[in-house]
Protein backbone atom coordinates (compact mmCIF):
# COMPACT_ATOMS: atom_id res chain seq x y z
CA UNK A 1 0.00 0.00 0.00
CA UNK A 2 1.77 3.09 -1.25
CA UNK A 3 1.03 6.43 -2.91
CA UNK A 4 1.86 6.31 -6.66
CA UNK A 5 4.66 8.67 -7.70
CA UNK A 6 2.38 10.51 -10.14
CA UNK A 7 -0.10 11.24 -7.32
CA UNK A 8 2.37 12.20 -4.63
CA UNK A 9 1.18 15.84 -4.70
CA UNK A 10 -2.49 14.95 -4.21
CA UNK A 11 -3.88 16.34 -0.97
CA UNK A 12 -6.47 13.59 -0.52
CA UNK A 13 -4.02 10.63 -0.77
CA UNK A 14 -2.03 9.75 2.36
CA UNK A 15 0.18 6.65 2.54
CA UNK A 16 -1.65 5.01 -0.33
CA UNK A 17 -5.18 5.71 1.00
CA UNK A 18 -7.38 8.04 -1.02
CA UNK A 19 -10.01 9.95 0.97
CA UNK A 20 -13.16 11.73 -0.11
CA UNK A 21 -12.47 15.46 -0.07
CA UNK A 22 -15.93 16.25 1.34
CA UNK A 23 -16.57 13.47 3.87
CA UNK A 24 -13.00 12.36 4.64
CA UNK A 25 -13.96 8.70 4.20
CA UNK A 26 -11.53 6.27 2.57
CA UNK A 27 -12.75 5.51 -0.96
CA UNK A 28 -9.77 3.86 -2.66
CA UNK A 29 -6.61 1.96 -1.71
CA UNK A 30 -3.56 2.20 -3.95
CA UNK A 31 -1.66 -1.10 -3.99
CA UNK A 32 1.74 -1.66 -5.57
CA UNK A 33 1.61 -4.86 -7.60
CA UNK A 34 5.34 -5.52 -7.99
CA UNK A 35 8.56 -3.81 -7.10
CA UNK A 36 10.46 -3.04 -10.29
CA UNK A 37 12.75 -0.40 -8.81
CA UNK A 38 15.77 -2.72 -8.73
CA UNK A 39 15.35 -3.79 -12.34
CA UNK A 40 15.04 -0.21 -13.56
CA UNK A 41 11.39 -0.52 -14.62
CA UNK A 42 8.58 1.66 -13.38
CA UNK A 43 6.41 0.55 -10.50
CA UNK A 44 2.90 -0.66 -11.29
CA UNK A 45 0.05 0.53 -9.06
CA UNK A 46 -3.62 -0.38 -8.93
CA UNK A 47 -6.35 1.64 -7.24
CA UNK A 48 -8.92 -0.67 -5.62
CA UNK A 49 -12.20 0.93 -4.48
CA UNK A 50 -13.14 0.29 -0.87
CA UNK A 51 -16.79 -0.36 -1.84
CA UNK A 52 -17.93 -2.39 -4.81
CA UNK A 53 -20.76 -1.45 -7.18
CA UNK A 54 -23.38 -2.72 -4.69
CA UNK A 55 -21.93 -0.69 -1.83
CA UNK A 56 -20.41 -3.71 -0.05
CA UNK A 57 -16.92 -3.42 1.41
CA UNK A 58 -14.29 -5.36 -0.47
CA UNK A 59 -11.20 -4.08 1.36
CA UNK A 60 -10.78 -4.32 5.12
CA UNK A 61 -8.28 -2.04 6.80
CA UNK A 62 -7.87 -3.26 10.37
CA UNK A 63 -6.06 -0.72 12.53
CA UNK A 64 -6.01 0.71 16.01
CA UNK A 65 -7.37 4.18 16.70
CA UNK A 66 -5.09 6.82 15.21
CA UNK A 67 -4.64 9.79 17.53
CA UNK A 68 -2.40 11.70 15.13
CA UNK A 69 -3.78 14.51 12.99
CA UNK A 70 -3.98 13.29 9.41
CA UNK A 71 -2.97 9.76 10.34
CA UNK A 72 -4.29 6.98 8.14
CA UNK A 73 -2.67 3.69 9.19
CA UNK A 74 -3.24 3.67 12.92
CA UNK A 75 -0.76 3.53 15.79
CA UNK A 76 0.87 0.26 16.97
CA UNK A 77 0.21 -0.84 20.52
CA UNK A 78 3.91 -0.59 21.44
CA UNK A 79 4.45 2.74 19.68
CA UNK A 80 4.92 4.77 22.89
CA UNK A 81 7.19 2.31 24.67
CA UNK A 82 9.26 0.76 21.89
CA UNK A 83 12.33 2.93 22.69
CA UNK A 84 11.99 2.37 26.42
CA UNK A 85 11.55 -1.37 25.84
CA UNK A 86 14.75 -1.48 23.81
CA UNK A 87 16.73 0.41 26.46
CA UNK A 88 15.38 -1.88 29.19
CA UNK A 89 16.50 -4.91 27.20
CA UNK A 90 20.00 -3.45 26.78
CA UNK A 91 20.19 -2.71 30.51
CA UNK A 92 19.15 -6.28 31.37
CA UNK A 93 21.79 -7.73 29.04
CA UNK A 94 24.47 -5.44 30.48
CA UNK A 95 23.63 -6.40 34.07
CA UNK A 96 23.66 -10.11 33.20
CA UNK A 97 27.01 -9.80 31.41
CA UNK A 98 28.55 -7.82 34.29
CA UNK A 99 27.41 -10.46 36.77
CA UNK A 100 28.96 -13.26 34.69
CA UNK A 101 32.27 -11.38 34.28
CA UNK A 102 32.53 -10.58 37.99
CA UNK A 103 31.85 -14.21 38.85
CA UNK A 104 35.21 -15.17 37.26
CA UNK A 105 37.26 -12.76 39.43
CA UNK A 106 38.52 -14.52 42.59
CA UNK A 107 41.25 -12.26 44.01
CA UNK A 108 44.31 -10.23 43.06
CA UNK A 109 47.78 -9.85 44.56
CA UNK A 110 49.67 -6.65 45.37
CA UNK A 111 53.41 -6.17 45.76
CA UNK A 112 55.57 -3.55 47.42
CA UNK A 113 58.23 -1.65 45.56
CA UNK A 114 56.21 -0.67 42.51
CA UNK A 115 56.67 -3.87 40.46
CA UNK A 116 54.70 -3.78 37.24
CA UNK A 117 51.71 -6.14 37.09
CA UNK A 118 53.09 -8.07 34.08
CA UNK A 119 56.67 -8.39 35.42
CA UNK A 120 58.03 -11.28 37.48
CA UNK A 121 58.51 -10.49 41.22
CA UNK A 122 61.87 -11.35 42.86
CA UNK A 123 62.55 -14.96 43.88
CA UNK A 124 59.65 -16.28 41.78
CA UNK A 125 60.59 -19.83 40.77
CA UNK A 126 64.25 -19.37 42.02
CA UNK A 127 66.26 -21.19 44.69
CA UNK A 128 67.88 -19.01 47.35
CA UNK A 129 70.50 -20.44 49.77
CA UNK A 130 69.54 -23.99 48.98
CA UNK A 131 65.86 -23.41 49.63
CA UNK A 132 63.09 -23.61 47.11
CA UNK A 133 61.98 -20.27 45.75
CA UNK A 134 58.43 -19.06 45.89
CA UNK A 135 56.25 -20.67 43.20
CA UNK A 136 54.38 -18.44 40.77
CA UNK A 137 50.73 -17.75 41.63
CA UNK A 138 48.30 -20.35 40.20
CA UNK A 139 46.35 -19.53 37.06
CA UNK A 140 43.37 -21.61 38.23
CA UNK A 141 41.80 -21.75 41.66
CA UNK A 142 40.76 -25.06 43.19
CA UNK A 143 38.97 -25.81 46.43
CA UNK A 144 41.27 -26.15 49.43
CA UNK A 145 44.30 -24.76 47.57
CA UNK A 146 47.04 -22.90 49.50
CA UNK A 147 50.34 -21.41 48.37
CA UNK A 148 53.08 -19.20 49.81
CA UNK A 149 53.45 -15.51 49.07
CA UNK A 150 56.73 -13.76 48.37
CA UNK A 151 57.90 -11.04 50.74
CA UNK A 152 55.96 -7.86 50.20
CA UNK A 153 53.01 -9.60 48.53
CA UNK A 154 49.44 -9.64 49.82
CA UNK A 155 46.12 -11.01 48.60
CA UNK A 156 43.16 -8.71 48.19
CA UNK A 157 39.59 -9.65 47.28
CA UNK A 158 37.38 -7.63 44.96
CA UNK A 159 33.93 -6.40 45.88
CA UNK A 160 32.33 -6.06 42.45
CA UNK A 161 28.79 -5.40 43.69
CA UNK A 162 27.25 -7.77 41.16
CA UNK A 163 24.54 -8.89 40.85
CA UNK A 164 23.28 -5.39 41.38
CA UNK A 165 20.75 -5.40 44.25
CA UNK A 166 19.02 -2.35 42.77
CA UNK A 167 18.48 -3.94 39.34
CA UNK A 168 15.14 -5.49 40.26
CA UNK A 169 13.85 -2.20 41.69
CA UNK A 170 14.87 -0.34 38.54
CA UNK A 171 13.32 -2.96 36.24
CA UNK A 172 10.08 -2.94 38.22
CA UNK A 173 9.93 0.84 37.90
CA UNK A 174 10.38 0.56 34.12
CA UNK A 175 7.70 -2.15 33.88
CA UNK A 176 5.25 -0.03 35.85
CA UNK A 177 6.03 2.93 33.62
CA UNK A 178 5.37 0.86 30.48
CA UNK A 179 2.18 -0.61 31.94
CA UNK A 180 0.75 2.91 32.22
CA UNK A 181 1.20 3.42 28.48
CA UNK A 182 -0.26 0.01 27.64
CA UNK A 183 -3.17 0.45 30.10
CA UNK A 184 -2.38 -3.02 31.43
CA UNK A 185 -1.50 -3.47 35.14
CA UNK A 186 2.04 -4.64 35.76
CA UNK A 187 0.75 -7.67 37.72
CA UNK A 188 -0.84 -8.95 34.51
CA UNK A 189 2.30 -8.23 32.46
CA UNK A 190 4.44 -10.22 34.86
CA UNK A 191 1.81 -12.83 35.71
CA UNK A 192 2.55 -12.36 39.43
CA UNK A 193 -0.25 -11.70 41.90
CA UNK A 194 1.21 -11.07 45.35
CA UNK A 195 -1.45 -8.63 46.54
CA UNK A 196 -4.83 -9.30 48.07
CA UNK A 197 -7.73 -10.91 46.23
CA UNK A 198 -9.41 -7.56 45.62
CA UNK A 199 -6.26 -5.95 44.19
CA UNK A 200 -5.47 -8.93 41.98
CA UNK A 201 -9.06 -9.12 40.78
CA UNK A 202 -9.07 -5.40 39.99
CA UNK A 203 -5.88 -5.77 37.94
CA UNK A 204 -7.33 -8.65 35.93
CA UNK A 205 -10.63 -6.87 35.25
CA UNK A 206 -8.87 -3.64 34.22
CA UNK A 207 -6.80 -5.50 31.63
CA UNK A 208 -9.83 -7.53 30.55
CA UNK A 209 -11.67 -4.28 29.83
CA UNK A 210 -8.94 -3.35 27.35
CA UNK A 211 -9.10 -6.81 25.79
CA UNK A 212 -12.86 -6.49 25.37
CA UNK A 213 -12.49 -3.14 23.60
CA UNK A 214 -9.86 -4.52 21.22
CA UNK A 215 -12.02 -7.59 20.63
CA UNK A 216 -15.10 -5.51 19.83
CA UNK A 217 -13.15 -3.32 17.42
CA UNK A 218 -11.76 -6.39 15.65
CA UNK A 219 -15.25 -7.90 15.40
CA UNK A 220 -16.69 -4.70 13.93
CA UNK A 221 -13.86 -4.07 11.46
CA UNK A 222 -13.05 -7.62 10.41
CA UNK A 223 -15.15 -10.53 11.70
CA UNK A 224 -18.57 -9.14 10.75
CA UNK A 225 -17.52 -8.35 7.19
CA UNK A 226 -15.88 -11.74 6.66
CA UNK A 227 -18.99 -13.43 8.07
CA UNK A 228 -21.24 -11.47 5.70
CA UNK A 229 -19.03 -12.44 2.73
CA UNK A 230 -19.19 -16.09 3.72
CA UNK A 231 -22.97 -16.17 4.20
CA UNK A 232 -23.58 -14.20 0.99
CA UNK A 233 -21.53 -16.68 -1.02
CA UNK A 234 -23.31 -19.63 0.56
CA UNK A 235 -26.71 -18.13 -0.26
CA UNK A 236 -25.64 -17.24 -3.81
CA UNK A 237 -24.47 -20.84 -4.39
CA UNK A 238 -27.73 -22.14 -2.85
CA UNK A 239 -25.92 -23.86 -0.04
CA UNK A 240 -28.14 -21.98 2.42
CA UNK A 241 -31.81 -21.11 2.02
CA UNK A 242 -32.47 -17.50 3.02
CA UNK A 243 -35.55 -15.94 1.32
CA UNK A 244 -35.16 -12.21 0.71
CA UNK A 245 -31.46 -12.17 1.53
CA UNK A 246 -30.45 -10.08 -1.47
CA UNK A 247 -33.73 -8.23 -2.09
CA UNK A 248 -34.64 -7.14 1.44
CA UNK A 249 -31.94 -5.25 3.41
CA UNK A 250 -33.77 -5.82 6.71
CA UNK A 251 -33.98 -9.56 6.12
CA UNK A 252 -30.32 -9.60 5.18
CA UNK A 253 -29.42 -7.86 8.43
CA UNK A 254 -31.41 -10.40 10.42
CA UNK A 255 -29.70 -13.30 8.67
CA UNK A 256 -26.27 -11.83 9.36
CA UNK A 257 -26.80 -11.34 13.10
CA UNK A 258 -23.93 -12.95 14.96
CA UNK A 259 -22.48 -12.77 18.45
CA UNK A 260 -18.75 -13.15 18.87
CA UNK A 261 -17.48 -14.60 22.14
CA UNK A 262 -13.92 -14.94 23.32
CA UNK A 263 -12.10 -16.25 26.33
CA UNK A 264 -13.45 -15.30 29.71
CA UNK A 265 -11.25 -13.55 32.30
CA UNK A 266 -9.29 -15.88 34.59
CA UNK A 267 -10.97 -16.68 37.88
CA UNK A 268 -8.94 -16.40 41.09
CA UNK A 269 -11.58 -17.81 43.43
CA UNK A 270 -14.45 -19.71 41.80
CA UNK A 271 -16.53 -19.82 44.97
CA UNK A 272 -16.53 -16.02 45.33
CA UNK A 273 -17.28 -15.59 41.63
CA UNK A 274 -20.18 -18.03 41.80
CA UNK A 275 -21.68 -16.32 44.84
CA UNK A 276 -21.39 -12.92 43.18
CA UNK A 277 -23.07 -14.15 39.98
CA UNK A 278 -25.87 -15.79 41.97
CA UNK A 279 -26.56 -12.57 43.88
CA UNK A 280 -26.72 -10.56 40.63
CA UNK A 281 -29.19 -13.03 39.14
CA UNK A 282 -31.30 -13.19 42.32
CA UNK A 283 -31.53 -9.39 42.40
CA UNK A 284 -32.45 -9.44 38.70
CA UNK A 285 -29.52 -7.20 37.80
CA UNK A 286 -28.14 -9.53 35.14
CA UNK A 287 -29.23 -12.43 32.98
CA UNK A 288 -27.90 -15.97 32.95
CA UNK A 289 -27.04 -15.54 29.29
CA UNK A 290 -24.86 -12.51 30.04
CA UNK A 291 -22.93 -14.14 32.89
CA UNK A 292 -22.54 -17.37 30.93
CA UNK A 293 -20.88 -15.38 28.16
CA UNK A 294 -18.74 -13.06 30.31
CA UNK A 295 -17.76 -15.38 33.17
CA UNK A 296 -17.55 -18.75 31.40
CA UNK A 297 -17.09 -17.63 27.79
CA UNK A 298 -19.84 -20.02 26.61
CA UNK A 299 -23.28 -19.69 25.07
CA UNK A 300 -26.08 -20.16 27.57
CA UNK A 301 -28.30 -22.24 25.25
CA UNK A 302 -25.49 -24.65 24.49
CA UNK A 303 -24.72 -25.03 28.18
CA UNK A 304 -28.36 -25.88 28.86
CA UNK A 305 -28.45 -28.39 25.99
CA UNK A 306 -25.31 -30.09 27.25
CA UNK A 307 -26.67 -30.24 30.80
CA UNK A 308 -29.93 -31.78 29.53
CA UNK A 309 -28.03 -34.49 27.64
CA UNK A 310 -25.85 -35.24 30.65
CA UNK A 311 -28.81 -35.44 33.02
CA UNK A 312 -30.64 -37.76 30.61
CA UNK A 313 -27.70 -40.16 30.63
CA UNK A 314 -27.32 -40.18 34.40
CA UNK A 315 -28.60 -43.31 36.17
CA UNK A 316 -31.91 -42.79 37.89
CA UNK A 317 -31.80 -43.05 41.66
CA UNK A 318 -33.46 -46.13 43.12
CA UNK A 319 -36.76 -45.51 44.84
CA UNK A 320 -36.63 -46.03 48.56
CA UNK A 321 -38.92 -48.80 49.52
CA UNK A 322 -40.49 -48.06 52.84
CA UNK A 323 -41.04 -51.03 55.09
CA UNK A 324 -44.34 -51.42 56.81
CA UNK A 325 -43.26 -52.30 60.30
CA UNK A 326 -46.84 -52.55 61.45
CA UNK A 327 -47.62 -55.33 58.97
CA UNK A 328 -44.40 -57.13 59.68
CA UNK A 329 -45.20 -57.00 63.34
Q: What is the mean pLDDT of residues 270-296?
A: 88
Q: What is the mean pLDDT of residues 40-57?
A: 79
For 165-179, write each residue's pLDDT tens digit: 888 899 999 999 999
Asked whether 2 and 30 are in contact (CB, 8 A), the reply is yes
Q: Would you place residue 88 in the very low, low, confident or very high pLDDT band (cuts 50, 70, 90)?
A: very high
Question: Distance (Å, rounded) from C-alpha 269 to C-alpha 185?
Answer: 19
Q: What is the pTM of this model?
A: 0.63
For 53-79, write each residue's pLDDT tens digit: 878 888 888 887 766 666 677 788 888
For 193-242, write each residue's pLDDT tens digit: 888 888 888 898 888 888 888 888 888 889 999 999 999 999 999 999 99
Where do the structural domains in the chain lie, given as residue ranges? 1-75, 106-157, 197-255, 270-313
The per-residue pLDDT of the chain, averaged, comes to 79
Q: What is the mean pLDDT of residues 73-91?
A: 87
DSSP 40-90: TPPPEEEEEESB-TTS-B------PPP-STT--S---TTTTTHHHHHHHHH
Amino acid sequence: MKTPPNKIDADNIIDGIEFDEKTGEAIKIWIRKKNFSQSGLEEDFEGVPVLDEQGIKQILHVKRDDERIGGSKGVPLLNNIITLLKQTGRYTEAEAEASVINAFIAFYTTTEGGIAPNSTPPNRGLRVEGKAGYPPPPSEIRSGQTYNLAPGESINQLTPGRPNPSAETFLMAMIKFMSCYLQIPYEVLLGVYNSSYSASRAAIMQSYRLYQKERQDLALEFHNYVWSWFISECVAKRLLRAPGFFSNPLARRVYLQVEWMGDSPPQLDLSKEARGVKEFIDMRLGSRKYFSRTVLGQRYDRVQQQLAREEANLPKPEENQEQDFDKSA
